[in-house]
Chain A
């Protein structure tokens, strides 16, 4: 399973390195989202700084939707999805590999967005390790659920509109938890206990990773 996961992750990341979609399209879209939020919240800089944690995570969610759709569309050309099924790859490994590739891309995107938030909204980082851990845990959860829903909607013609609608409510806990942790980590945030939220993220990740490993095979076969 791990060998298959590494193989698939490597393939997806190599495709990304060649086509550079995440870097040249999704990242600018994320920055654009941050700019749009700034327009929406008005010129009051303190308001933007206060809203920075939530806006960061909303932008991350939108980028996740795009990254998942890209990951799914890579397999739609030339019947590659059938090819993956026919190769006898362990479906659990396929799930972990695709999720890992999406997670890697998301982490890079989050780094870019983090810089954007600091620059654009004037947010000051007080506790950087809290930021990093929350991003890591949140990313794993988003990648796992995104891969699952991507596979569910893979063969459908309406997948572009259906995927966000199905995926975003499931990702809501990540948004809530990530925002709260970030609020603790940034200056002027509420000094709430961040570890409770980190535990929630960890549970979320564990649950959906376990679910994915078990059900990805049947999902693939029913596409």
Chain B
């Protein structure tokens, strides 16, 4: 029996899932396009902030995805992986996909926040609780991804990364409150008001909502695609296991093969 015959085909994605992913992708693209159109052309500029306020359609959206959706999902999935009853590589792959996509959104949050902050506050960065927590979260995410790169068996790697995610999940609230107290208790002479919320009404409110929905859909679509890539990556590894088992066993019985020939 030739070794190649033992390689299984990749795990199939059911037609329903494929259609769902496609639908989500198209909806996300359409929603984003609408948001861009509405945000840049249709809605009026703000009284105080002028055209800069158009960032409100993007920035809170990416921030919500990065800080709560991606991070929360990664934390919950990691917890479910560690819990013996629900342990399964599905949760590990989901967490890793969430972290990776979350990094992208996190960087977008920081960049959009900086762009908004420079004209408003005069500086590229302000040490307020939310921005700082976002930055720390980014570093923790990158640490998770660095750990994931280390070659190891899938279960070992999954466990390690899940612990890192767990510790990060515990730490981020503490960091957030620390920085919050740090800023508010410090009676320094800063006039920086990190509260950027302008008054929102009318078409702006609808566009804002659409922005949230669009970005969430983009996240979900990227998550599903990344998850599928993870499944295929793992399949590529296990397909070789049958071959390896056969080769290993053949080490012990060279005579048998001669007799069978």
Contacts and interface: CB of A to CB of B under 8 A. Distances in A.
B87 to A, nearest CB: 11
Nearest to B135: A169
Interface string A209-223: 001000100110011
A173 B160 contact: no
Contacts of B174: 173, 200, 203-204, 207
Contact of A169 (B143, B150, B156): B143
A158 B235 CA distance: 26
B172 to A, nearest CB: 9
A162 B139 CA distance: 12
Interface in B158-199: 159-160, 163-164, 166-168, 170-171, 174-175, 177-179, 181-182, 185-187
Interface string B117-153: 0000000000000000000100110110011001000
B160 A169 contact: no
A177 interface: yes
Interface stretch (A20-28, A82-90, A100-108, A189-197): A189-197
A162 B149 CA distance: 11
B103 to A, nearest CB: 14
B143 A165 contact: yes
Given A162-B147, A173-B174, A192 B167 contact: no
A203 to B, nearest CB: 7
A176 B178 contact: yes
B167 A211 contact: yes
Contacts of A170: 140, 167-168, 171
Given A169-B139, A197-B181, A152 B186 contact: no
Nearest to B188: A190
Contact of B159 (A192, A197, A207, A218): A218
Nearest to A172: B175
Interface of chain A: mostly helix, strand, loop or mixed: helix
Contacts of A223: 156
B177 A200 contact: yes
A36 interface: no
A222 B156 contact: yes
Interface in B8-26: none
A162 B146 contact: yes
Interface string A11-39: 00000000000000000000000000000
A219 B171 CA distance: 18
B182 A222 contact: no
Nearest to A156: B150
B138 to A, nearest CB: 9
Given A152-B160, A162-B146, A172-B136, A180 B182 contact: yes
Contact of A192 (B142, B150, B179, B185): B185
27 contacts: A148-B167, A149-B167, A152-B163, A162-B143, A162-B147, A165-B139, A166-B164, A169-B136, A169-B175, A172-B136, A173-B174, A173-B175, A176-B178, A176-B179, A176-B182, A180-B181, A180-B185, A190-B187, A192-B185, A193-B185, A197-B181, A207-B174, A208-B167, A215-B82, A218-B163, A222-B155, A222-B160
